[in-house]
Amino acid sequence: MTYATRLINDPTQGLIVPKNFCIDTNFFQINEVDMINSYCSRFPLKGGVLFDGEDHSERKIRLHFIECPDNENQWIYDKLNTLIGYYNDNYFHFDLVGYRYIQYGEYHLGGHQRYHTDIRYDFNRDYIHDCLRKITVILMLSDPSEYEGGELLLNLSSEARASSFKLPKGHVIMFPSFMPHQVNPVTAGVRKTLVVWPLGPKFK
């Protein structure tokens, strides 16, 4: 098993901040991504729901939440668990306890999400009660040739300008959930992603 990882190196800012984010380029094979797309194509999608009374103009996305593993999707959970375990053990070193669900999302024409952070408490089952989102893990299910716009902008530090990512199908980007980021509006096609947020006790 091989992993290809790129850490922060923004030559325009002369900034090198190791371990703020990782990109895996070959853990998910294209045929596996096609299987995920086929599996997710059966889901009924609903508009994105924001928390704490936030303005719904902040986000436009169609979603489905995969709440628990079953015989059909267990392999997806297994792969994500292996991927998250490897990168957390080698790069992030966060105290993690699991995650609530997998989010499948589609950004159609005009789909976007304004700057935000993903860190917040997830209140649900006892084993993850009062746990914060620690890592944002995004698997790209669409190739850049399939849509226009939809770039992921990631603020690497308070002093650096945002870095823009439009990753190939099958690539995974991972970063701490407290990092501000946004998705630019999609101007054509459909941008599809699979997202999970591993949880853990609050940062000390």
- CATH code at 104? 2.60.120.620
The answer to whether position 13 is within a domain reads no
Say if 158 falls within a structural domain. Answer: yes
Taking the C-alpha atoms of residue 5 and residue 194, their distance in angstroms, rounded to an integer, is 19
Q: Write out the chain's pLDDT in tens, 204 residues.
A: 333 333 333 333 333 334 588 999 999 999 999 999 999 999 999 887 555 445 556 789 999 999 888 999 999 999 999 999 999 998 898 999 888 899 999 999 999 999 888 987 665 544 456 788 999 999 999 999 999 999 999 987 655 567 889 999 999 999 999 889 999 999 999 999 999 999 998 877
pTM higher than 0.95 = no
* Interhelix angle 74-87/30-40, nearest 10 degrees: 130
Number of structural domains found in the chain:
1
- Has residue 162 been placed in a domain? yes
Does 160 reside within a domain?
yes
- Please indicate, yes or no, if residue 14 is contained in any of the structural domains: no
| Domain carrying residue 26 | 22-200
Q: Is 5 part of any domain?
A: no
- In angstroms, the Cα distances linking 116 to 53, 108, 112 are 14, 20, 12
> Are residues 109 and 187 in contact, defined by beta-carbon separation less than 8 angstroms?
yes
Is 109 contained in some domain? yes
Residue 2 falls within a domain, yes or no? Answer: no
Residues 6+ apart with CB under 8 A from 6: 22, 23
80: enclosing H helix or E strand: helix 74-87
